[in-house]
Each structure stands twice: as C-alpha cells, then as structure tokens.
Chains A and B, each alone.
Chain A
Amino acid sequence: MSIKITGLNHSYKAGTPFEKQVLFDINLEIGQGEFVGIIGPSQAGKSTLAQYFNAIYVPVRGKVMINGQDTADKNTDLVKIRHAVGYVFQNPDYQLFKPTVGEDIAFGPLNQKCPREEVEARVREAMETVGLDYHTFYKRDIFSLSGGQKRRAAIAGVLACRPQILVLDDVTAGLDPQGREDILRVINKLHRDKKITIIFISSSMDDLARLAKRIIVMARGRIVMDGPAREIFARVEQLKALGLEPPQVIEIMHRLKDKGFSVPLSILNLEEALEAIRAVLKKTGVDQAWS
C-alpha cells in the first residue's frame, strides 16, 4: 500500500478574489511500512498535504495515487481509501461524539458494514493496542476521560477501521510529558508490531527524533528537505533558518562541535549523544573518578 504524488498544487478559495495557493508542486512517494515524519513551521501546508493522503482533498492540479488508484478518478471508491488510510486529528473532541468509549470506537467499523462480532473484536483489539483497558473503559462516558485518554480513544476509533497507513496530525500537542510518552509508545508499537505505515505530523522535533526514520521538512507550501532522519536533523543551520528548533540533543552536539569537540551531528537519541561525548572525553584523557 503506497502513496505517490506528482505535481500537486492546492489553493484555498480558488476562483474567488481571496484565492491563496498553499501547496506548490509537491512530488512525494511513501512506501509500505515506512515511518515518515513531516515537520515545518505553522502554515507550511503539512495538514493540507496530509489530507490528500486519505482523499479528503482530491487533486485539481497534479496527481495523487493511493495504492495504485487515482483519487481524482470518478470510479475510485474514496470511502474505501479513507478506511485504508486512517487520519487522526489533533483535537479528539472533533471526532468523539458517541456516549460511551466503546460505541465511539465501534463507529468506524460499523460504517464499514462489518458484522457485529467483527466490530466487537476490532474494538477490543484497538483498545488493547492504545492501552485503554477494555473492561474499565468500554462503557465509560467520553466526557470523563482525561486529555491523553481521549487522544488514545480517538486513535483507537481510527485503528478499528484496520487502516494500512495511519496519518497522525500533531497528536502530541498540549499533552503533559506523561501523556506524550503514552502516545509515542502506542505509535511505536503500531509501527513495530502491526507494521502500519506511519505518517507523523508534528511541530516537535524531539518527538520525531525518537521515532521517525525519514523526515520531510515543509515550508511555505513546498517540500524543502526529504531524507533519512539522521541526515535531516544534522542540518542544524538550515533548520534554524526555517524557524525550526532541532532536537535538543542535536542542539547540544552542535554547540559542542562549535567549541571544537569532534562529535557527529547525525545522532538520534540520548544514548548516541552520550557515547559520542564519552569517546571525546576519553580520548582527551579526562579523568574519570570511579566511586
């Protein structure tokens, strides 16, 4: 299941005096099983682009092929595409509307006309995957959930449709560190265990550093960088010029490098950073007092 976009352009309020172009000549391919992070300053066009992945938008200029099907083709079943490419929005309150958690998660599969037993099975599976205990939360009122729990319920609601690709649009925004941890763990599990292709839109470099293998940087409606995470994060100056803060750990490496430490910039996490620093310190003969 793959996504292929060629020559995509998108304008708001097209045809009116308020027309504004927000996507310029986008060319992009995302393959099965990838974990792609999309980042960029606000108004870069990230969400607009992502909404072509599940055929919320259908191209007027350019071509969008999802799983080999042209979304602009009148014969393509867009609803089927929306089940295969799940999209979780930032605000779970835009999605949750049924009285109980269980009913809301069941909404998607019911729309897919799944038989009763299968709906039940899918709801169970989805709740388990996101870490909401079936017995505790199935009959819970959606209003009684915390922010993090609501996000997980929303993700479960999309997972219950059994998508092959999952788009997550800024789902960690506004969460406290614990809530963030929970969500990131769930997403990692989805990619690792269920082999779902993940497209993760975020404004937090740190979140992307943890999980994404490939990073796409967008700015003012264009894709300005596209490559392996290590490579992209190392381009500290370029990222800063776009108004983006590189992951904290890279920022530290960058400063060390400026002061003459020979450390690589293409690291992804704390362990790698510590190793690099350790190596440099040992080489320069710094004392280690072992207690």
Chain B
Amino acid sequence: MELTRNITLGVYLPGDTTIHRLDPRTKISAAMVLLALLFFIKTYTAFVFFAAFMAALVLLTRIPVKYVLSGLKPMLPVLLIMWLCQLFLQKPPGSEIIFSLWIFKASDAGLRLGTLMSIRVILLYLVVTVLTMTTSLVELADGAEALLKPFRKIGVPSQELAMTGIIALRFVPTLAEELEKIVKAQMARGVAFDRGNFIQRTAKIFPVLLPLFINAFKRGEELITAMEARNYTGGSGRTKMKVLKMCRCDAGAFIVLFIFAAGMVALIVMVGPPY
C-alpha cells in the first residue's frame, strides 16, 4: 500500500513556448475571460470557433494532445449521464419529439442542449488545463496575488491568501507521507481498513483523521512561530524577490484575446439560439 503513488497536483509541464512564457497575470485573466464567454455561448457555430481557438492554444503549448485529452477519461461516464438526462428530460415549449425509447421521449431541444452542455464542459476542462499545464503553482500564486492587490484597499488579503495557497501546496507531499505513516501505525495495531461493512469502514477513519488533524494544527502553530521569527507581520509592507514583468508577447496575447472575445460576443448577440 502506497498512498503517495498518485499524488500529482496541478500537473505542470515545464516548457519554453510562447504560452509558457506569458506573464501569469495574462494567463489567469485570459482564462477568466474565456470561462465567462463559455457560459454565454449557446450555438454550435460559436462553439466551433471557440473550439478552434482552444485547439490552436493547445498546439501552441506543444503538450502532446493525447496527454491533454487523457484527463477527460474519468469525466466521460459523468458526461454521458448528463447528456442522457438532458436528452430525455428537456422539453421546452416548441420542441419536438425525435424518437422514443421505452417510456423515455427524446426531444430535439434535449439533444441540442445536452450536446452543447457536454461540449461546454469539455472546453472548460481545456481552458483550465492549458492554464495549469503551462503555469507553475508558484507563478499562479504570484499572478493571483498581483491581480488581487488593488483589492487590498477594500480589505481583500491578497498576499495572505496567495501565501496560504503556496504553503498548502508545499505541505501536500509532507502530509501525504504523514498520512501514509499514520495509516501504517494504525494497521500495525490491528485496524483492518479493507474489512467490514460501510459503517465500520467509515468509523475506521477516526484513528487516521484525528492524528492527522492534530499534527496539522501543531505544524501550523510551529510554522507561525517560525514565520514571526522571520519578521512576518502580514502582507502589508512586503516586497517580493520575483517581480512580475509583462513583455511584448503579453501585449500581443491581450490583443489576440480582445479580438477573439469581441468576435465571440458579436456571434452570441447576432446569432441567437432557437430556444
């Protein structure tokens, strides 16, 4: 038994492509704009353009397409169920029944909405994946912190939030290792995690969860003391060793993004859905 086997959080694949070299602030803002657009797209045509844009981005990152799409595998069963639900349950006024299976009647609206929804989820996954595969966690935290900085004035603790994120990430392997040791220690006292009915197995989580939480709290306390000893007094007044600097490719990226977004908005407004 080896719990740390498959711990890979936010799989980052280092590279030197244009996308990799973009400032994280550019990438995060672009991702947010694209995600927002996705929620307003309701026609196949618009999706085709969006998908083409995403395809171009994926190719630019030079990450093997097969690897990118492999992340979709665990989602497929869920997607299928959602598609079937839409197909058989959506019956907005003006829709027609296209076929029926036993007692279930599929409408053309259901088919359309179901398919569009599935495409939306897949494209959502692609946007997030392109972001996380080309931006390291540290860059993401730095980018988020920088983007949230203007909001400090209204009380948003931008530095503290970003740092909390980084600390959590830095402890992931440490905690995974600790979890493994705790499980082994309790196994050594006869706790059989693979036996018993559902309720019994759920109860077995306490000998593992309690030490984990208690130790996590102790760690937190010690960490705070160490941080205080290094003069940490919160996010105000801090400088950063790595200063984020935008360059020409960021300007170029923003221009491309703007044109694409403008085009999408136009499409959405002009070519409305039938329902």
User: Which A residues form the contact surface with B (CB < 8 A)?
Assistant: 12-13, 16, 51, 54, 56-57, 78-79, 82-83, 86-89, 91, 93-97, 107-108, 111-112, 157-158, 161
Contact = CB atoms under 8 A, between A and B. Distances in A.
A89 B184 contact: yes
Contacts of A56: 1, 184, 187-188
Instruction: Please classify how large the interface on chain B is, using the bins under 10, 10 to 19, 20 to 34, 35 or more.
Output: 20 to 34
16 contacts: A12-B2, A13-B5, A57-B1, A78-B192, A82-B188, A87-B184, A89-B181, A95-B182, A95-B186, A95-B189, A107-B189, A108-B190, A111-B191, A112-B190, A158-B188, A158-B189
Interface in B169-212: 178, 181-182, 184-192, 195, 206-207, 210-211
A93 B192 CA distance: 20
Contact of A94 (B2, B181, B195): B181
B211 A97 contact: yes
B269 interface: no
Contact of B190 (A51, A83, A93, A95): A83
B2 A107 contact: no
A87 B5 contact: no
Contact of A93 (B189, B191, B206, B211): B211
Contacts of A158: 188-189
Nearest to B213: A97
B188 A96 contact: no
Contacts of A95: 182, 185-186, 189, 211
Contact of A161 (B5, B184, B190): B190
Contacts of B188: 54, 56, 82, 86-89, 158
A15 B5 CA distance: 10
A77 to B, nearest CB: 10
Question: What is the predominant secondary structure among interface residues of chain A facing chain B?
Answer: mixed
Contacts of A93: 211, 214-215, 218
A51 B184 contact: yes
Nearest to B182: A94
Interface of B: 1-2, 5, 178, 181-182, 184-192, 195, 206-207, 210-211, 214-215, 218
A251 to B, nearest CB: 33
B2 A13 contact: yes
A230 B182 CA distance: 36
B178 to A, nearest CB: 7
Name which of A87, A97, A158 has the most chain B CB atoms within 10 A of its CB: A97
Contacts of B178: 94
Contacts of B214: 93, 97
B254 to A, nearest CB: 37
Contacts of B181: 89, 91, 94
B206 A97 contact: yes
Nearest to B214: A93
B6 to A, nearest CB: 8
Contacts of B185: 87, 89, 94-95
Given A89-B181, A91-B181, A97-B210, A16 B5 contact: yes
Given A86-B188, A161-B189, 20 more contacts: A13-B5, A56-B1, A56-B187, A56-B188, A78-B192, A82-B190, A87-B184, A88-B188, A89-B185, A89-B188, A93-B211, A93-B214, A94-B178, A94-B182, A95-B186, A96-B211, A97-B211, A107-B189, A111-B189, A157-B189
A95 B206 CA distance: 11
A17 to B, nearest CB: 11
B222 to A, nearest CB: 13
Given A16-B5, A89-B184, A94-B178, A79 B190 contact: yes
Contact of A79 (B192, B210, B211, B218): B192
A57 B178 CA distance: 17
B3 to A, nearest CB: 11
Contacts of A94: 178, 181-182, 185, 211, 215
A94 B138 CA distance: 30
A108 B215 contact: no
Contacts of A89: 181, 184-185, 188
A90 B184 CA distance: 12
Contacts of A83: 190
Given A51-B184, A112-B190, A97 B207 contact: yes
A157 B215 CA distance: 19
Residue among B185, B188, B211, B218 having the largest count of chain A Cβ atoms under 10 Å? B188
A89 B191 CA distance: 15
Contacts of B206: 97
A16 B6 CA distance: 9
Nearest to A88: B188
A16 B5 CA distance: 9
Contacts of A108: 189-190
Across chains A and B, which 9 residue pairs bring their CB atoms closest together, nearest first? Answer: A111-B190, A87-B188, A97-B210, A95-B185, A108-B189, A94-B185, A94-B182, A89-B185, A79-B192
